[in-house]
């Protein structure tokens, strides 16, 4: 396929994609199409190649009904074909954990190179923790952070690892749009309650974001975006 054709195809997908609020609950995504969408998530990049996320695919009506109550009763939860919950590992991403060591070992590098990467990884996290701790302790933001995050310590792994989930999320939404499947990312939910519904061990992993996939019931609204020169500064 020629480059210009590919570019047009990708841009068409971006124009097609919108935050679908109401799905046609009678239309279901095929197993092969859903596998393709999930594969684009699996192949997405992650910081240090840690691949620290998991994707929980929720189709059970009972589970979705319970989740809906904890997700502001948003209709996307139970009208979509598939609901994907992005969960990030936390405990396993700590420097020194076997998961971290296995991710470096999978690259087939000599032991010396693995050790060097591990030291860099440990140093990165120590620097991140120190930097964030300094920001929160000198800022009023730290007060509100503690109130709304169950007294979580600033700079912990969740604050870094959760950002990684948005990489596969974006790739999966674009991949879905390229084959005519709609999506809607969801951040409006009670995190603790959702984790209880899913029976997660929150000492090891936590919910980050949800995304509904399916087929739109209504016509797509006009897409409104600011002009490129508002977004881009060239230097």
Q: What is the pLDDT of residues 197-208, one digit of tens each?
A: 999 999 999 999
- The answer to whether residues 46 and 2 belong to one domain is yes
Same domain membership, residue 10 and residue 86: yes
Return the CATH number at 15: 3.40.109.10
For residue 145, the model assigns a pLDDT of: 44
Is 176 a member of any domain?
A: yes
Q: Tell me, yes or no, whether 84 and 174 share the same domain.
A: yes
Helices (H), the chain: 3-16, 31-42, 61-70, 76-79, 98-105, 111-137, 141-148, 157-164, 166-177, 191-197, 228-231
Q: 112 lies in a domain? A: yes
Give the whole-angstrom CA distance, residue 84 versus residue 211.
5
Domain region containing 108: 93-155
Pair 183, 72 in one domain: yes
Answer for the pair 49, 167: CB distance below 8 angstroms, yes or no: no
Q: Is residue 160 part of a domain?
A: no
Are 235 and 173 in the same domain?
yes
- Residues 148, 13: Cα–Cα separation, whole Å: 36
Same domain, 35 and 113: no
For the chain, the domain total comes to 2
Q: What is the pLDDT of residue 126?
A: 86
Q: Identify whether residues 4 and 47 lie together within a single domain.
A: yes
Q: What is the pLDDT along the chain (235 residues), one digit of tens a residue?
A: 699 999 999 999 999 999 999 999 999 999 999 999 999 999 999 999 999 999 999 999 999 999 999 999 999 999 999 999 999 999 999 999 999 999 999 999 899 999 999 999 999 988 877 765 554 454 554 444 444 444 445 457 898 999 999 999 999 999 999 999 999 999 999 999 999 999 999 999 999 999 999 999 999 999 999 999 999 999 9
User: Which residue in 97, 44, 86, 60 sits closest to 206, CA to CA?
Assistant: 86
Q: Which of these three, 134, 155, 176, is where a domain ends?
A: 155
pLDDT at site 147? 45
Summary mean pLDDT of the chain: 90
């Amino acid at each position: 396929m020629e480059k210009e054709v590919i570019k047009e195809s990708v841009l068409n997908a971006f124009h097609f994609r919108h935050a679908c609020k109401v799905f046609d609950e009678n239309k279901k995504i095929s197993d092969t199409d859903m596998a393709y969408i999930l594969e684009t998530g699996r192949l997405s990049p992650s910081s240090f190649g840690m691949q620290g996320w998991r994707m929980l695919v929720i189709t059970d009506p009972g589970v979705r009904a319970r989740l809906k109550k904890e997700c502001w009763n948003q209709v996307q939860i139970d009208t979509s074909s598939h609901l994907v919950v992005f969960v990030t590992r936390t405990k396993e991403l700590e420097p020194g954990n076997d998961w971290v060591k296995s991710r470096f070992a999978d690259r087939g590098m000599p032991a010396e190179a693995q050790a060097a990467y591990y030291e860099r990884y440990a140093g990165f996290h120590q620097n991140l923790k120190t930097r964030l701790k300094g920001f929160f302790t000198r800022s009023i933001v730290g007060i509100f952070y503690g109130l709304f995050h169950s007294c979580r310590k600033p700079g912990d792994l969740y604050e870094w690892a959760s950002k990684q989930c948005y990489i596969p999320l974006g790739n999966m939404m674009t991949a879905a749009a390229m084959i005519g499947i709609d999506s809607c990312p969801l951040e409006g939910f009670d995190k603790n309650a959702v984790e209880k519904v899913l029976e997660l061990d929150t000492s090891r992993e936590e919910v980050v974001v949800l995304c509904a996939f399916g087929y739109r019931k209504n016509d797509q609204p006009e897409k409104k975006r600011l002009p490129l020169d508002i977004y881009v500064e060239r230097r």
